[in-house]
Amino acid sequence: MSKKPNAQIRGLIESNAGSFNLIPGVVIIHETVNWTVVYMSERGLKQLGLSLDEVCSMTNAEYYSRFFNAEDAKDYVPKIGAFMHANNKEDTLSYYQQLKFPGIDNWRWHLSSTKILLRDNQDKPVLSITISIPVDAMHHMAAKADRLLEENNFLRRNYVHFSKLSKRERMVLREMALGKSSLEIANELHISSTTVDTHRRNIRDKLGTKSSFEISQYARSFDLI
């Protein structure tokens, strides 16, 4: 391997490589300092069209920019960092990732689960192990993952606008997204319909939209409905 892992790491990988290749998914082992790959099972190497040495010689930036969608990485990368920092022995972290393989134009969703595999003498993480399985065969899962990514991206783009809304305006926004009239919202919140109309105008001004679809997007992305 190009990274020349120490004897303990080599022994751990070599003694389990046969089992890793039997798992119905891709097994990836990362070292935790630079988050570079030190092992990948044969299934993953075949999908990437690379040898183990080629994968292990890639930097973190090269590996992720080449095969992974940067948009959904904004969601799961901070979670991985927090997970590794927490360093809980029994915990695992599951998350969705999109990958693009050589010769294939479309992103493919995968469900990945990560666990700390090896710690040093100070009990700090040295290696992580990730098992990644495709969700393409389960089309409803892939569709849900697409919607989740879209909502997360919308949230990041529009958080500043949403944060301008008062607590009452967020309540009115929720009812607007549910398609209720000003009179219905007034009865629901025990305020006058004139006040509701004022809230509606202020909400649209602060969010910079007159689109009912975008109003619904705000409500979904910020967990109001």
User: How does pLDDT run across 2-31, given as a tens digit for each residue?
Assistant: 445 678 888 888 899 999 999 999 999 999
In a domain, 180, yes or no: yes
Q: 68 and 11 share a domain? A: yes
Residue 72 has pLDDT above 50, yes or no: yes
Residues 54 and 131 in one domain: yes
Determine whether 55 is exposed, middle or buried from the number of CB atoms within 10 Å of its CB (0-12, 13-18, 19+): buried
In a domain, 48, yes or no: yes
d(CA 115, CA 24): 17
Answer yes or no: is 159 within a domain.
no
pLDDT digits (tens, 9 = 90+) for 128-175: 999 999 886 556 666 777 777 778 778 888 889 999 999 999 999 999
| 203 in any annotated domain | yes
Does residue 146 form part of some domain?
no
Single out the residue in 106, 141, 176 at which a domain terminates: 141
CA angle 135, 95, 215 (to 5 degrees): 90
- The residue range of the domain holding 176 is 164-221
Our count of domains for the chain comes to 2
Quote the pLDDT of residue 220.
87
Structural contact between residues 107 and 189, judged by C-beta atoms closer than 8 angstroms? no
The reply to whether 168 and 132 lie within a common domain is: no
pTM of this prediction exceeds 0.95? no
pLDDT in tens, 85-96: 999 988 999 998
